[in-house]
Chain A
Amino acid sequence: MMTRTIKSKSKKILVEMAFIVLIAVVTGIVWNHRLLWNVFNGTIADATTTLPAPASREATMLPAGLMQAKELFDQKEAVFIDAREPSVYALGHIQGAVSLPVAKVDSALQNFMNETPLDAILIVYCSGYGCHDSNNVAEKLQARGYDTIFLFEGGYPEWKNAGFPIEGADS
C-alpha cells in the first residue's frame, strides 16, 4: 500500500517536473522565436533591422572558422579587426589586431582607411558566437568600400582557447 503511494507520488512528481520544463521551454522558444528563426536561416546579423546590401558591389562577407582565421593570420595577409570595447581589447586581443570598437567605428574609420587599402583582406571578430559587433563593424567597412571581409565567428574566446598568439594586459 505504502509502496504504491510512493510509486504514484514519484510518478506524479515526474509528470509535474516534465510539465514545468515543457511550459518553460515553450515560453523560451516563443519569446525568442525571431532570434531562433534568424539563426536557423543563418541571418543573425541583426534580429530587428536588416540593412539593404549595396547593390552596386558584390557583397563578400564570408564566415571564417578558427583554422581559416589562423591560416590568414599565418600568411600575414589579412588585417585583424577587433570590434569589442577598447577596455576589453586592452585586456587581450589577437596579436596585431586593430581596435575598431563598434561604438566608435564612425570616428575611427577615417584613420583606419588612411592606413588600409580598400583591397585589403579584413577579418573581423568580437566575443565569439552570437556577438553582433563584428557583424556591425563589417557592414560599416563594406559600406565604405572594403570588398573582402571575413567574419571570424568564434572570435577572441575561441582563438585564445586554441592557444593562438594573443597580446594585451592579460596575455
Chain B
Amino acid sequence: MRSKVRSKIKNYLILTLRIGLGLVFIYAGILKIRDPIAFAGSVAAYKVLPYFLNYLVAATIPWIEATCGLLLIIGFKTRAAAGITAAMNLFFIVLLASTIMRGLDIDCGCFRQGGEKTSAWIAIMRDIVFLFVALVLFTEENDRKLPNR
C-alpha cells in the first residue's frame, strides 16, 4: 500500500519535471525562432564558429529545443527527447565554461535575445539543473519500461 502511494507520488513528480522541462525548452526555442538574426548575434559572440555557421546554428538549435520541449510535454518519445535535452545542456555547460576561461564577458543568449545580460556562471548553474532533470527523465523512463518488455 505504502509503496503504491510512493510510486504514485514518484510518477507525479516525474510528470511535473517532464512538463516543466518541456515548457522551459519550448519557451527558449520559440523566443529564438522568432528572432534568428538576434540569436545569430548571440552565437557569434561566443567566437567559436565562422560567420555562416553562426547563422546555421541559430536557424536550427531553437527548433531542436522547441521540438524536444513539445515531445516532453505531450509525452511522446520522452526518453529520446530527454536524452537530446541532456546532451544539449551538457554542450551548453562546456561552451559557457569556455567563455569564462577565455575571459569573454557576453550574454549567454539562452532565452530572450539582447535583453539583460545573464552571466555565464548563472547560466551554467541553470543548465546543471536542466541537465539533472533531463537525466532523471532519461533514466526513469528506462526503469519503468524495461521490465515490461
Identify the A interface with B (CB < 8 A).
5-6, 9, 13, 16-17, 19-21, 23-25, 27-29, 31-32, 35-36, 39-40, 44, 127-132, 155, 157-158, 160-161
29 contacts between A and B (CB under 8 A): A13-B79, A13-B80, A13-B83, A16-B79, A16-B80, A17-B83, A20-B67, A20-B68, A20-B80, A20-B81, A21-B84, A24-B60, A24-B66, A28-B64, A32-B59, A35-B37, A36-B59, A127-B114, A128-B44, A128-B45, A129-B41, A129-B45, A129-B51, A130-B39, A130-B41, A130-B58, A131-B38, A160-B105, A161-B45
Closest-by-CB residue of A relative to B45 is: A157
Identify the B interface with A (CB < 8 A).
33, 36-41, 44-45, 51-52, 54-56, 58-64, 66-68, 71, 77, 79-81, 83-84, 87, 104-106, 114, 142, 146, 149
Closest-by-CB residue of B relative to A19 is: B80
A129 with B84, Cβ < 8 A, contacts A24-B63, A32-B59, A36-B59 known: no
B57 to chain A, nearest CB (A): 9
A19 to chain B, nearest CB (A): 8
Number of A-B contacts (CB under 8 A): 102
A130 with B62, Cβ < 8 A, contacts A17-B84, A40-B52 known: no
Residues of B within 8 A of A16 (CB): 77, 79-80
